[in-house]
Amino acid sequence: MPSPAVLYEKDGPLAIVSLNRPTMRNAYNVEMRDDLYEILQAVRDDPEVRVMILRGEGPAFSTGGDVSEFGSAPSPVRAREVRWRRDNWGTLLHLPQPTIAAVHGYTVGGGMEMALLCDICIAADDTVFFLPETSLGMIPGVAGTQTAPRAIGLGRALDMVLTGRQVKADEALQIGLANQVVPRATLLTAAKSLAYTLSRYDPKVVALAKRAVRQGGDLSLSDGLRLEQNLFAMV
């Protein structure tokens, strides 16, 4: 029996979600999409889960979309219907729990974009980030054109999107693409250590703080301050 494309493990208050197509460098296919959809719903609705870690099995976090499945949908309309009905990226972005991407090796295209949808990114020292979509005749489709400028600034995001330039772990830390860089052997340990720290905080307060930062970033300063005041009153 084949292994599931995404593994789900609970470790006390932590949810550890592992992309599990290691021989394909965790290329994102239909099976992975469906498995991840079910797991993200479970994480969102589980009051015992305080923090989620997203990681990858094998030599890479993820090399993005599985090109062997490109164009395999019956029609573009059908493909869009399925994508919107199973909105993994919106669900990941809006989880109330803090999310930590623990990335290593090639973190490419949709893989890098998945990491950008998480709240915090811890990168192993062997991580390589890049967005090759433009050179392949498409544009990033996992929110990268929107999340990258917010994370690293407009100029750096345009550089990565337009040129497909590779960014290694040390540079990623410098430009804000990664929050920490750790040795590959200690990646999961570092992610769990941070996750356990966050898990000790009041989950309602954490969710409100996350909402204030996430939503406030899209507002004017005056509207953001109003949002903060309203959320502060809910604590």
pLDDT per residue over 103-151, tens digit each? 999 999 999 999 999 999 999 999 999 999 999 999 999 999 999 999 9
pLDDT confidence band for 3 (50 / 70 / 90): confident
Residues 189 and 144 in one domain: yes
Average pLDDT (86-110) is 96
Residues 50 and 157 in one domain: yes
Helices (DSSP H) in 154-202: which residue ranges? Answer: 154-163, 169-175, 187-199
Q: What is the pLDDT of residues 180-221, one digit of tens each?
A: 999 999 999 999 999 999 999 999 999 999 999 999 999 999
What is the model's pTM?
0.93
Whether residue 191 lies inside any domain: the answer is: yes
Range of the domain at 192: 6-199
Q: Judge whether 69 counts as a catalytic residue.
A: no
* Residue 67, number of CB atoms within 10 A of its CB: 12
Has residue 2 got a pLDDT over 80? Answer: no
Q: Please give the Cα distance from 164 to 175 (Å, whole number).
A: 16
Residue-averaged pLDDT of the chain: 93
Using DSSP bridges, classify how beta strands 180-182 and 128-130 pair: parallel, antiparallel or unpaired: unpaired
Q: Judge whether 113 counts as a catalytic residue.
A: yes
Residues 157 and 228 in one domain: no
Has residue 83 got a pLDDT over 70? Answer: no
CA atoms within 13 A of residue 14's CA, in its CB half-sphere: 19
Q: Which of 60-69, 73-82, 110-119 ranks highest by mean pLDDT? A: 110-119
Has residue 68 got a pLDDT over 90? Answer: no
Residues 47 and 159 in one domain: yes
Residues 192 and 218 in one domain: no
Whether residue 27 lies inside any domain: the answer is: yes
pLDDT confidence band for 84 (50 / 70 / 90): low
**Whole-number pLDDT of residue 77:** 44
Whether residue 93 lies inside any domain: the answer is: yes
Has residue 76 got a pLDDT over 80? Answer: no
Catalytic-labelled residue, pool 81, 133, 171, 228: 133
Tell me the β-bridge partners of 157: none
Catalytic-labelled residue, pool 9, 69, 113, 228: 113
SS3 (DSSP) at 166? coil
Q: What is the pLDDT of residues 160-173, one digit of tens each?
A: 999 999 999 999 99
pLDDT confidence band for 1 (50 / 70 / 90): low
Residues 192 and 207 in one domain: no
SS3 (DSSP) at 14? strand
Residues 210 and 104 in one domain: no
Q: Please give the Cα distance from 101 to 17 (Å, whole number).
A: 10
**Whole-number pLDDT of residue 124:** 98
Average pLDDT (10-14) is 97
SS3 (DSSP) at 38? helix
